[in-house]
Amino acid sequence: MKKIHVGTGKPYDIIIERGIIKNAADYIRPLTKAVRAVIVSDSNVAPIYADTVKKSLQDSGFETSVFVFDAGEQSKRISTIEKMYTHFYEHNITRTDIAVALGGGVTGDMTGFAAASYLRGIDFVQIPTSLLSQVDSSVGGKTGVDLPAGKNLVGAFHQPVTVLIDPDTLDTLPEKFRTDGMGEVVKYGCIRSLPLFEKLENENAWDIIDDIIYECVSIKRDVVERDERDTGERAILNFGHTFGHAIEKLGNYTEMTHGCAVAAGAAMLTGITEEKGLTEAGTAERLKNVLKKYGLPIAVDYSLSEIISATRGDKKSSGKGISFIFLKKIGECYINKIATEDIRAFFGVN
Ligand code: MG
């Protein structure tokens, strides 16, 4: 068992342990006075794991219900949240009861947002079952939903009471989503850890995935502790994301998964910054080789001009510019804010 303590305003522990899903309630029961627990899951994950978590909660004395929504990013919207609230109401969820997010990033983000807002806030637990949610989205308290105009445009900061990570759940994860999560894993090596990046280069990450998850979560914890509300350093977690979000948007959020879009965005951006002499020579090639090794894309069919246009409205824009994350070299990055009127010239497109 590995434990990572997160010292945010409301502190909590992240537990990484194989098989933990079977005795999830052992970790949840001491943290809450809840009478009822509502499990939120999607149509892919619920049939595999909901009964296991439900049994654990019931054995610990919780009255338990399960809310299931259709799997996929297209469900990550206000209308699903409204159905979730209705389920909470019909199952008598009170302010001292608890929600349990069981699934990937969409499930965690939406359950967290519903928990942040229902009755002005109830506790929730994250049980992330995809690699992407285990290394990234379940940690740090960002919750929310998409609007037609863009991803995650409505949300709240709401830290979970605990995050329970069971690497065994990755065994049932479709190949596409295993690859997807690896995009964020590579990101952590790039921005903060040469040793992690070298592990990804020299070993097969899937053989040592428990350690990889631990290292990624530790990096995210360090960053989130110093900048819980995302006003400064936390922006570095967005390496590859400004282009990535634009690529996702150009594909109507259906052509490319998040981790793949981030990978392609990171590779493209680093190619450009290296050419400009802002990144150590050889970095882009090393990055591209690792991305290819794990089945991730390093380029897309959209032109740079199209991608730049689609960055308009990115959440990372503030005031009159966008904060891009550039690599100095593998394991080191910095924030570079570019004024809106200078962006096209900077990237050499008109
Ligand atoms: Mg991401």
pLDDT digits (tens, 9 = 90+) for 120-137: 999 999 999 999 999 999
Q: Are residues 202 and 335 in the same domain?
A: yes
pLDDT tens-digit map of 78-116: 999 999 999 999 999 999 999 999 999 999 999 999 999
pLDDT of 313 reads 63
Q: Are residues 142 and 210 in the same domain?
A: no
Point out the least confidently predicted range of 225-239, 289-303, 310-324.
310-324
Q: Are residues 269 and 139 in the same domain?
A: no
Say which CATH number the domain at 77 has: 3.40.50.1970
Q: Are residues 330 and 249 in the same domain?
A: yes
Q: Are residues 195 and 329 in the same domain?
A: yes
Percent above pLDDT 70 for the chain: 98
Q: Which of 118, 137, 169 is a domain's end point?
A: 169
Question: What is the 93 CA–ligand 1 centroid distance (Å)?
Answer: 31
Look at residue 274 and tell me whether its pLDDT is greater than 80.
Answer: yes
Confidence of residue 316 (pLDDT cuts 50, 70, 90): low
Question: What is the 111 CA–ligand 1 centroid distance (Å)?
Answer: 17
Instruction: Provide the token pair at 96.
Output: 């001292």
Q: Are residues 186 and 258 in the same domain?
A: yes
Q: Are residues 209 and 126 in the same domain?
A: no
Question: What is the 186 CA–ligand 1 centroid distance (Å)?
Answer: 11
Rounded to an integer, what distance in angstroms lies between the CA atom of residue 340 and that of residue 278? 20
Q: Are residues 208 and 149 in the same domain?
A: no
Rounded to an integer, what distance in angstroms lies between the CA atom of residue 101 and that of residue 41? 6
Look at residue 349 and tell me whether its pLDDT is greater than 70.
Answer: yes
pLDDT of 239 reads 98
Q: Are residues 210 and 156 in the same domain?
A: no
Question: What is the 59 CA–ligand 1 centroid distance (Å)?
Answer: 35
pLDDT of 170 reads 98
Output the 3-class SS for 285-321.
HHHHHHHHHCCCCCCCCCCHHHHHHHCCCCCCEECCE
Question: What is the 278 CA–ligand 1 centroid distance (Å)?
Answer: 23
pLDDT tens-digit map of 167-216: 999 999 999 999 999 999 999 999 999 999 999 999 999 999 999 999 99
Question: What is the 288 CA–ligand 1 centroid distance (Å)?
Answer: 18
Q: Provide CB contacts within 8 A for 174, sequence distance 6+.
A: none
Range of the domain at 62: 2-169
Say which CATH number the domain at 183 has: 1.20.1090.10
Question: What is the 131 CA–ligand 1 centroid distance (Å)?
Answer: 12
pLDDT of 8 reads 94
Question: What is the 258 CA–ligand 1 centroid distance (Å)?
Answer: 7
Look at residue 267 and tell me whether its pLDDT is greater than 80.
Answer: yes
Look at residue 317 and tell me whether its pLDDT is greater than 70.
Answer: no
Question: What is the 185 CA–ligand 1 centroid distance (Å)?
Answer: 10
Question: What is the 28 CA–ligand 1 centroid distance (Å)?
Answer: 27
Q: How far is CA 174 from the centre of its chain?
A: 17
Question: What is the 239 CA–ligand 1 centroid distance (Å)?
Answer: 9
Q: Are residues 182 and 131 in the same domain?
A: no
Question: What is the 241 CA–ligand 1 centroid distance (Å)?
Answer: 7
Q: Which of 148, 169, 190 is a domain's end point?
A: 169
Q: Are residues 156 and 183 in the same domain?
A: no
Confidence of residue 256 (pLDDT cuts 50, 70, 90): very high
Domains contained in the chain, number: 2
Confidence of residue 314 (pLDDT cuts 50, 70, 90): low
Q: Are residues 254 and 281 in the same domain?
A: yes
Percent above pLDDT 90 for the chain: 93
Q: Tell me the pLDDT of the chain averaged across its residues.
A: 96
Q: Which of 169, 188, 210 is a domain's end point?
A: 169
Look at residue 10 and tell me whether its pLDDT is greater than 80.
Answer: yes
Question: What is the 183 CA–ligand 1 centroid distance (Å)?
Answer: 9
Q: Which whole number is the average pLDDT over 215-232?
A: 95
Q: C-alpha distances in angstroms, 234 versus 59, 148, 182, 276, 340?
A: 39, 25, 20, 25, 21
Question: What is the 178 CA–ligand 1 centroid distance (Å)?
Answer: 14
pLDDT tens-digit map of 136-165: 999 999 999 999 877 889 999 999 999 999
Q: Provide CB contacts within 8 A for 333, sequence distance 6+.
A: 190, 191, 192, 236, 239, 325, 326, 327
Instruction: Provide the token pair at 227.
Output: 């900048």
Q: Which whole number is the average pLDDT over 252-262?
A: 92
**H or E segment and range at residue 336:** strand 332-339
Look at residue 318 and tell me whether its pLDDT is greater than 70.
Answer: no
